[in-house]
Amino acid sequence: MTAYTTSRDGTRIAFDREGTGPAVILVGGAMQFRAFDPTTRELAHLLAERGFTVVNYDRRGRGESGDTLPFAVEREVEDIAALIDEIGDGAALFGGSSGAVLCLWAAAAGLDVAKLALWEAPLTPEGEVDDGETLEALQKLIANDDREAAVAYFMRDMPREWFEGARNSPAWPVMLTIAPTLAYDTAVLDKATKSPWAEQWSTVTQPTLVLLGEQTQPIFPPAADALVAALADARQQRLDAANHSWRPEVMADALEAFLRE
């Protein structure tokens, strides 16, 4: 059954909670929310069966969660803070793609975070900045309600067949519905370009597992290497996974081993 918490700015955040034991919050990436992401739902079930309290939530603007404008990355951090308050005793965070970077901002903000597990954070190399041009261009497309163009622009650096597959799938109408939230993911990533990672995330001292698929896109290994170098207590692990996706049982094995250390 869906539960709700209220973030600091009054936004209602929807989540599922299951299992008992050490807590872990699952933080989705772009286009992910509970009703649209069976893979993460299955991961939540597996971790709950293995003795964890698992929170799987809809990021703001998606699924059953509300949205309050204007958006800021800090509001999403406050959403995670509200979920941690619901649990009552801190939590580990697992984030996928842009959600992995949101986990870093949550830890840097001083939230009661025990550990971080980060799956294929799509970060551009340090020092490569565009002065917010990517975010501004996406916001213009969204303001003009050109949602297909917004999704295409967001996916422009991904393999073309990924976009074509999405556009020709039954999921496409849902993707268009939540396309405006792609600006939120872009803002999360854009914030990471403002200064060196070791400086921005100097307070992130939690044990951190940086995860990659055995078969992955060229952007991810350099980002993973740089994160391990920048963070105080991080290591990298490769999983039997490909194409920026993973199987629930493979991810559950990796997370269980890391969280029980």
- Is residue 89's pLDDT more than 90? no
- For residue 20, give Cα distances in angstroms to 24, 50, 113: 10, 9, 17
87 lies in some domain: yes
The domain that contains 110 carries what CATH number? 3.40.50.1820
User: How crowded is the C-beta side of 8, counted as CA atoms within 13 Å?
Assistant: 12
- C-alpha span between 137 and 149 (Å, rounded): 11
42 lies in some domain: yes
Name the amino acid, one letter, at 177.
T
pLDDT in the model for residue 85: 97
- Is residue 242's pLDDT more than 90? yes
pLDDT band at 128 (very low <50, low <70, confident <90, very high): confident
99 lies in some domain: yes
How do residues 194-221 score in pLDDT, each as one tens digit? Answer: 999 999 999 999 999 999 999 999 999 9
Residue where the block lists tokens 């629930």 = 248
pLDDT in the model for residue 131: 82
How do residues 2-33 score in pLDDT, each as one tens digit? Answer: 999 999 999 999 999 999 999 999 999 999 99
pLDDT in the model for residue 1: 82
pLDDT in the model for residue 221: 97
Which strand (E) or helix (H) includes residue 113? strand 113-119
178 lies in some domain: no
DSSP 165-215: HHHTSTTHHHHHHTGGGHHHHHHHHHGGGSS-HHHHTTT--S-EEEEEEEE
How do residues 93-111 score in pLDDT, each as one tens digit? Answer: 999 999 999 999 999 999 9
46 lies in some domain: yes
244 lies in some domain: yes
pLDDT band at 222 (very low <50, low <70, confident <90, very high): very high
Number of separate domains in the chain: 1
State whether residue 87 is helix, strand or coil. helix
Q: Give mean pLDDT, residues 248-257.
A: 98
- Is residue 77's pLDDT more than 90? yes
How buried is residue 78: exposed, middle or buried, by Cβ count under 10 Å (0-12/13-18/19+)? buried
- Is residue 224's pLDDT more than 90? yes
Whole-prediction pTM: 0.96
pLDDT in the model for residue 231: 98
- Is residue 71's pLDDT more than 90? yes
156 lies in some domain: no
What is the overall mean pLDDT for the chain?
Answer: 96
Give the structural domain span for 221: 3-127+192-259
pLDDT in the model for residue 125: 86
140 lies in some domain: no
- C-alpha span between 54 and 50 (Å, rounded): 10
How do residues 142-195 score in pLDDT, each as one tens digit? Answer: 999 999 999 999 999 888 999 999 999 999 999 999 999 999 999 999 999 999
What tokens does 128 get?
């490569």
